[in-house]
């Protein structure tokens, strides 16, 4: 069963002035356990597609369905609650809270979910261990390298036990070694824990690891290929 479905999804920015057609009737689905890259040149619509799936932006027309629930038309408050329970995010610029430690950053989303303190701490510690940061739990973002910050972001994305992770250009600000280490971690989580990852990326290193590659051009799906 698909955990994500879009139906004739379109997004037009500036419709009353100079219209920009970011998405044009995109219909696509993603299954549980996928490790998929959505790729294409700047302006192709890949980030817009992820933002629509994640409920970070609203379509001009069409629909997004997650686990059988249509999120199109939800209020902002409803979308916040839905994202909190169902979707994990990894962003290009990490988006960690500067005054929090790595442990506190990973715990924060579980605090919003109103989990027990002991459960939050135990899960956050376990996730940081999984991403190779057991010795950096008390470090704040400015004390971590870019690669380490992005690993904290991956742990944070997983903390809420989401149905899938949306990763928007997660390796864009990383050097080659850090990027490969991050991909190793995410690929291992996908393989061993069936964590679903959907990437938008320009990075050939990410594309090469993906088992499915969706190519976008001018707001449309150009090709959708399964890789060996």
Residue 1 has pLDDT above 80, yes or no: no
How many whole angstroms separate alpha carbon 86 and alpha carbon 53?
Answer: 11
The answer for residues whose C-beta is within 8 angstroms of residue 185's C-beta and 6 or more apart is 130, 131, 132, 151, 154
Residue 228 has pLDDT above 80, yes or no: no
**What superfamily would CATH give domain 2-226?**
P-loop containing nucleotide triphosphate hydrolases (3.40.50.300)
Q: What are 85-136's pLDDT values in tens digits?
A: 999 999 888 899 999 999 999 999 999 898 998 899 999 999 999 999 999 9
pLDDT given at position 92:
85
How many whole angstroms separate alpha carbon 52 and alpha carbon 71?
Answer: 9
Q: Return the bridge partners of 11, or none.
A: 23
Q: Assess contact for 53 and 82: CB atoms under 8 A.
A: no
Give percent of the chain above pLDDT 90.
Answer: 86
Helix (H, G, I), strand (E, B) or coil at 90: strand
Residue 15 has pLDDT above 90, yes or no: no
pLDDT given at position 183:
95
Helical (H) or strand (E) element with 109: helix 102-112
Q: Assess contact for 223 and 215: CB atoms under 8 A.
A: yes
C-beta contacts of 120-126 below 8 A and 24+ residues apart: 123/159, 124/155, 124/159
Residue 164 has pLDDT above 80, yes or no: yes
């Amino acid at each position: 069963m698909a955990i994500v479905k879009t139906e004739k999804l379109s997004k037009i920015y500036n419709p009353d002035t100079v219209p920009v057609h970011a998405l044009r009737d995109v219909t696509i689905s993603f299954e549980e356990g996928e490790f998929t890259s959505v790729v294409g040149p700047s302006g192709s619509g890949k980030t817009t597609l992820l933002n629509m799936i994640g409920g970070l932006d609203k379509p001009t027309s069409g629909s997004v369905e997650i686990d059988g629930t249509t999120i199109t038309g939800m209020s902002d408050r409803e979308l916040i609650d839905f994202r909190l329970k169902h979707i994990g995010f990894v962003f290009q610029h990490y988006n960690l809270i500067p005054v929090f430690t790595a442990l506190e950053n990973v715990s924060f989303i579980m605090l919003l979910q109103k989990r027990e303190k002991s459960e939050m701490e135990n899960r956050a510690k376990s996730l940081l261990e999984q991403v190779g940061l057991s010795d950096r739990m008390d470090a704040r973002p400015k004390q971590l390298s870019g690669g380490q910050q992005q690993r904290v972001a991956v742990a944070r994305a997983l903390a809420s036990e989401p149905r899938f992770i949306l990763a928007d250009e997660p390796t864009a600000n990383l050097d080659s070694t850090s990027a490969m280490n991050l991909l190793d971690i995410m690929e291992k989580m996908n393989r061993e824990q069936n964590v679903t990852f959907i990437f938008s990326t320009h990075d050939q290193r990410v594309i090469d690891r993906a088992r499915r590659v969706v190519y976008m051009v001018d707001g449309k799906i150009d090709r959708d290929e399964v890789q060996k």
